[in-house]
Structure 1
């Protein structure tokens, strides 16, 4: 050890100590312009991290994450929507050559090529230039990718039915009893694919808010109505009456289970 000059570390005893003049002078030659790692520098890092963490926690308390109703695999009418940073992929899947029979290309191959090129960028672009305008190929590809992502994200957000999205995910409190034999044996396998697992709407209308009479429900189930098919060949008359009674008894409640006034 040399006083005021720090310590000399040798990683392997077989390697001779470097005796030539240092390319960079020792930091101890710059008094007042450097600081020790412990505790000065590390304390500043901790303080910065603590301020950020407290600010982030306050933000989550002031604006909590929006919650939707419990996921229901039987609700085929529900339209899922990814977070904003994946909206561009969601939009790309709507185009002709990235959907339908080309869905594999749009969902796997195309994003795989894009992200693979991003990972291989250090090997694909090995030019020595540091300024972006002197690297036209790399800069051009980056700007093109940014433009595509920006446009598809904007198009997805601008033309999406946000009111329908909010309505289908809203938490609804009802007196629906999923343990009821009528629900388990009849409604679950025949009605939830269109009206949702909570019967609050999906591809079909909301049966809780409809305030239907038993006779009306029985007529709809027996003869069909619009896009709704007839179930007279699927269900017996007694089963149809059970469904009619069950649906007619549905109503909205508050969180405590008290019926809301219609």
Structure 2
């Protein structure tokens, strides 16, 4: 140790903590024993995979910011016409759970068993296929798992979407997000057509005619109340019309026809009401009472 200002005095470091220079540079591993292009996993291969992931993530973010997610109406448990659908990347699982052997009493097999086998096979692939070969046609285990998985997911996704489109066409239903977008454009067009003037006051809803009629109690027991509500105001957000003033557009015979055959997005309700305990005489009285619901009273 130094004891004074003498420059020639020898300095001895006790417990030297200086960072020592590396004696040699990093020498890459020799992969000459393996045919084809090979490189170290860390950092070369991992850095390339990370860069590809960043590019894909930026692409997804650009799509998310440029195209807004389609939104339907707020959840309504009384809307029996709504067909729930998962996101596109879960359509294959949604379709799988529709089959008899993966639903009802076999629901555990459908939700845990089959997916567990599929994803378990993917997790075990590195341990089952340990060969150095990189060409897919010389790796039967990994290639078989990959192609089976792709075929199964693609098939179930296509079948699920086709079934959904067929169900919409059969029930004459327009998806809620499309309805909401059309309403938004229609409201913008209406606002623009008014030339910025004052908005017209909304017309008041017609009152219920003969609320003490015995048929009003029949209505409360019918399936109509689930969509049109106990106050007959319907659900405008879901394009379910109000029954107040329905008599201005339909007479008793027409209303009975709608009960038996349905109209628009509304399926037939006659048999459903019969199975619920109402009689034909009750439905006749109900149709007569609804025909009396007129705005001008």
Q: Give the TM-score normalised by the residue count of structure 1.
A: 0.51
The reply to whether residue 74 of structure 1 matches residue 78 of structure 2 is yes
Name the residue aligned to 1:108. 112
Q: Is the 8 A contact 2:73 2:237 kept in 1?
A: no
Distance 2:75 2:129 in 1: 45
Q: Per the alignment, in what secondary structure is the counterpart of residue 213 of structure 1?
A: helix
Distance 2:146 2:247 in 1: 61
The 5 Å alignment of 1:53-72 reads 56-57=61-62, 59-60=63-64, 62-72=66-76
Q: 1:22 to 1:91 in 2, by over 3 A?
A: closer
Q: Which of the numbers 132, 139, 152 marks the counterpart of 1:148?
A: 152
Q: How many Å separate the matches in 2 of 1:188 and 1:211?
A: 20
Cα separation, 1, equivalents of 2:245 and 2:123: 57
Unaligned 5+ segments in structure 1 are 1-6, 10-17, 26-44, 250-262
Superposition RMSD on alpha carbons, in Å?
Answer: 5.4
Contact 2:234 2:243 in 1 (8 A): no
Which shifted more, 128-137 or 99-108? 99-108
1:36 aligned partner: none
Deviations 1:23-53 (A, max 9, x none): 249xxxxxxxxxxxxxxxxxxx8xx87x947
Within 2, Cα distance between the matches of 1:175 and 1:96?
Answer: 51
Kindly indicate whether structure 1 or structure 2 has the higher relative contact order, using CA contacts under 8 Å at least 6 residues apart: 1
Check if 1:83 corresponds to 2:87.
Answer: yes
Is 1:212 matched with 2:266?
A: no
Query: What are the residue-to-residue correspondences of 1:1-262 with 2, within 5 Å?
Result: 22-24=26-28, 52=58, 56-57=61-62, 59-60=63-64, 62-161=66-165, 162=168, 164=172, 166-168=174-176, 170-171=179-180, 191=224, 193=226, 199=235, 206-208=240-242, 212-213=246-247, 216=252, 226-229=270-273
1:95–1:125 CA distance, 2 compared to 1 (3 A): same
Note the C-alpha offset of 1:65.
1.6
Gap runs ≥5 in structure 2: 1-18, 30-50, 185-201, 206-210, 212-218, 261-268
Asked if the contact 1:195/1:207 (under 8 Å) is kept, the reply is yes
Q: Give the TM-score taking structure 2 as reference length.
A: 0.46
Which deviates more from structure 2 when the two are superposed, residues 118-127 or residues 63-72? Answer: 118-127
